Amino acid sequence: MSRSVLVLGAGMVGTCTAVHLAMRGHAVVLVDRRAPGRETSYGNAGIIQREAVAPYAFPRSIAKLAGVALKRGADVNYHLGALPHVAAGLARYWRNSGAGRYPTIAEAYARLIAHATDEHAPLVAAAGADDLVRREGYLHIFRDAASMDLAAAEAQALSNRHGLRTDLLDGAALAAAEPALRTRLAGAIHWRDPWSVSDPGELVARYAAHFQRLGGTLAEGDASTLRQTATGWAVRTVDGPLEAEHAVVALGPWADALLRPMGYRLPLFVKRGYHRHYRGGAAPRLPLYDVGRGLVIAPMQRGVRITTGAEFAKQDAPATPWQLGRAEAHARELLELPEPVEAQPWLGARPCTADMKPVIGPAPRHRGLWFNFGHAHQGFTLGPVSGRLLAELIGGEAPVVDPAPYSARRFLHGA
Ligand SMILES: Cc1cc2nc3c(=O)[nH]c(=O)nc-3n(C[C@H](O)[C@H](O)[C@H](O)COP(=O)(O)OP(=O)(O)OC[C@H]3O[C@@H](n4cnc5c(N)ncnc54)[C@H](O)[C@@H]3O)c2cc1C
């Protein structure tokens, strides 16, 4: 049966949800205050992380925690003043990262990640976006042999368990594979299954154009005007009010702002991240994740994009791009990086949950309201499978994966 649906948020997650609903013949309006793919889904490292079967756990080693507290590395930063606001969420994140809970969480996570490239593939083809996508994997690079050996053993275990493909490159092989590197490193793990995208925001824009070709409508509007009506949901757009039987919240890091006034207290928080492009030097062939320093260096259409790790801060606090400064210095040890393209770094926020899994499924207390957010470090990867899963749930079809682990109800039971 065809349904009418408002999808709020045109990032990777909302756009893919809208595409999957439209493919199934539902009447869909995709609402955003900006053009599709201009926020978090624009600013990421552009990797479709088929290898990311293990979600980012809260660090548990004392040495790592001390390093974070003292801000020794570039991978994590925090605003002291924000800690009281995120403390409750982080405490749950810590608990969920322990040996008792993490394995079950990771199993559920891996079941979604398993569909990452398979679900992007038909959308890339239908959207005519082949020119944006490289299907050659990416490299985890290591500056010292001990870290490389440790990571190689872990990568081997994950690969065996999840059927992933990796190659180990020693220093010479890495230098040959990536001639732009100007320093001899210990080596690299080449994860061969992931894909990389040269303009992440443009990929979302192409998916959105495909959605329109399927008969879907894009509308400019403010999700905070969402109201329940006698028959469903209504939202205000620049073209006037719109109504539908169903509404999907796909607002990424802004989901909490909409849902709190509706009475939902979900354990959500953000990990902010920065990027900047650099032009003029030799670019790496594939994206490089400098594991020891916590930055990604990705060849993109606008130049070499450097992205940073996590910053624990209030989402709308002023930018403090200290990590980007450090990341840039670390990247210059590896590559020639002439002038930055942008005057100021880009700042965005990964939408995180306390148990590392996204929230996909019905809203527990409102009929016809659906959630699709909280994809943290891998929303660009997981948009298509999450969109498919939610579209199947809304349409009453057999779901591509068991949806239970991603239901918001888990938080009612203390997840
Ligand atoms: C530095 C960095 C690097 C990353 N690298 C990767 C990577 O390599 N691979 C990967 O898979 N993931 C990566 N991520 C994570 C990924 O970018 C996010 O998980 C993903 O983009 C989230 O998508 P989304 O659609 O949920 O949110 P968004 O893309 O933020 O979309 C939310 C949309 O909601 C809209 N919106 C918000 N409020 C309103 C409102 N009131 N009214 C109307 N519209 C509204 C916004 O305009 C926006 O378009 C990275 C993130 C960061 C920050």
- What are 112-168's pLDDT values in tens digits? 999 999 999 999 999 999 999 999 999 999 999 999 999 999 999 999 999 999 999
d(CA 381, CA 324): 23
Residue 169 Cα to ligand 1 midpoint, Å, equals 33
d(CA 98, CA 96): 6
> What pLDDT is attached to residue 107?
98
37-to-121, 199, 203, 251, 257 alpha-carbon distances in Å: 18, 10, 8, 12, 19
d(CA 7, CA 5): 6
**Res 84 pLDDT > 80:** yes
Of 31-35, 73-77, 141-145, which range is least confident?
Answer: 73-77
**pLDDT, tens only, 371-392:** 999 999 999 999 999 999 999 9
Residue 388 Cα to ligand 1 midpoint, Å, equals 18
d(CA 226, CA 17): 18
Query: How confident is the model over 159-185, as a mean pLDDT?
Result: 98
Atom of ligand 1 nearest to the CA of 258: 41
Atom of ligand 1 nearest to the CA of 15: 25
Residue 257 Cα to ligand 1 midpoint, Å, equals 15
- The pLDDT-based confidence of 77 (bands split at 50, 70, 90) is confident
**Res 58 pLDDT > 90:** no
13 lines ligand 1 (CB under 6 A): yes
- The pLDDT-based confidence of 414 (bands split at 50, 70, 90) is confident
Q: Which among 351, 269, 317 is positioned nearest to 87, based on CA atoms?
A: 269
**pLDDT, tens only, 282-313:** 999 999 999 999 999 999 999 999 999 999 99
**Res 61 pLDDT > 90:** no
* Three-class secondary structure of residue 166 per DSSP: strand
**Res 225 pLDDT > 80:** yes
Helices (H), strands (E): how many in the chain? 12, 21
Atom of ligand 1 nearest to the CA of 382: 11
Atom of ligand 1 nearest to the CA of 38: 49
**Res 355 pLDDT > 90:** yes
294 lines ligand 1 (CB under 6 A): no
224 lines ligand 1 (CB under 6 A): yes
Which pTM value belongs to this model?
0.97
The mean predicted confidence, pLDDT, of the chain is: 96
212 lines ligand 1 (CB under 6 A): no
380 lines ligand 1 (CB under 6 A): yes
**Mutation choice for ligand 1 from 29, 226, 350, 359, CB with most ligand atoms inside 8 A:** 350
390 lines ligand 1 (CB under 6 A): no
As a whole-number percent, the residues of the chain with pLDDT over 90 amount to 90
Identity of residue 409: R
**Res 60 pLDDT > 80:** no
- The pLDDT-based confidence of 186 (bands split at 50, 70, 90) is very high
CATH number for 1-56+98-132+195-266+355-415: choose from 3.40.1080.10, 3.40.50.720, 3.50.50.60, 1.10.287.3510. 3.50.50.60
Q: Ligand 1 atom 21: the closest Cα is on which residue?
A: 41
213 lines ligand 1 (CB under 6 A): no
**pLDDT, tens only, 245-296:** 999 999 999 999 999 999 999 999 999 999 999 999 999 999 999 999 999 9
List the alpha helices (DSSP H) in 163-237: 171-177, 200-213
d(CA 411, CA 196): 33
Atom of ligand 1 nearest to the CA of 34: 47
Query: How confident is the model over 101-111, as a mean pLDDT?
Result: 98
d(CA 412, CA 364): 9
352 lines ligand 1 (CB under 6 A): no
Query: How confident is the model over 182-205, as a mean pLDDT?
Result: 98
* Domain residue extents for the chain: 1-56+98-132+195-266+355-415
